[in-house]
Amino acid sequence: MRSFLLGCLIVFAGPTFGQSAFTVKYFGLTIHPFGDKTAHLQPKKLDPNAVFVLNKGLFVGYEKFLYEDLISVKFIQGVMTDCSDGLAEVSHLGIRATLLQSDKHRFCFGIGPTLIVRESWTRFGKDYTSSGFFNETYSNRLGALQWKFVPYAFELEYDYCITPKDNLSVSLTPGIPLANIISIGWKHWIKVKTFDTDVQLYVPKS
């Protein structure tokens, strides 16, 4: 909750330029490109090596453009089940750049710090061997937890225009070689500008 309030403060405190957008996405799939050594602890894996694992969760985000309609800052808060079916939380604040834009399609790339907190997998006892990637901590309210601060998490986002204010939005968060997560949902533009659709590059009209 503290990370969510801090992210909102940072995003909303700045001056308002250009457009802004609100997103809600369902997180439903994790991909381990080379499988995972803890596959035996992942009850919703779709194959023996846990290359594909079903998840369930929700990401909520707010994006505000800072430079014309090309550069934005975006805060994302997520609550979900991880691959062990334990509770996890993700907080992300990053810079976004629009790469391509047409009348129906938009591609953008984002990078920024991310904090991941999850129920500790040490609850599995001897069946779990830590890779050392996550740090261990303990909460009087939540019990044993694992956490990791990643200073440069990436996101690739594709938006398909349904109406001028509403998009189908798909995100890929690459964590190669460990895990890639995919989420899909709805993006609502709070402010809307028109675009020059005669070119592929995103060019706002004056």
| Domain presence at residue 195 | no
| Ramachandran region, residue 10 (left: φ > 0; alpha: ψ -120 to 50; beta: rest) | alpha
d(CA 102, CA 69): 14
Q: Does the residue 112 lie in any domain?
A: yes
Tell me if 172 sits within 8 A of 145, measured CB to CB: no
**Which amino acid appears at position 112 of this protein?**
G
How many domains would you assign to the chain? 1
pLDDT score for 177: 61
Q: What is the pLDDT of residues 154-203, one digit of tens each?
A: 999 999 999 989 999 999 998 756 789 999 999 999 876 544 443 333 44
Domain range for 25: 2-189
Q: Which residues of the chain have pLDDT under 50?
A: 1, 4-5, 7-8, 10, 14-17, 194-206
Candidates 78, 64, 59; CA nearest to 13 is 64
Domain membership flag for residue 198: no
User: Would 206 be classed as within a structural domain?
Assistant: no
Q: Is the whole model's pTM more than 0.85, yes or no?
A: no
| Token pair recorded at residue 136 | 């261990």
Q: Measure CA 22 to chain center.
A: 13
Gyration radius from the chain CA atoms: 18
Tell whether 204 is covered by a domain: no
Residue at 30 is within a domain: yes
Give CA separation, 20 vs 63, 66, 101, 148, in Å: 5, 9, 16, 29
Q: Does 102 fall in a domain? A: yes
Q: Is residue 76 one of the residues assigned to a domain?
A: yes
The enclosing domain of 118 has a CATH number of: 2.40.160.20
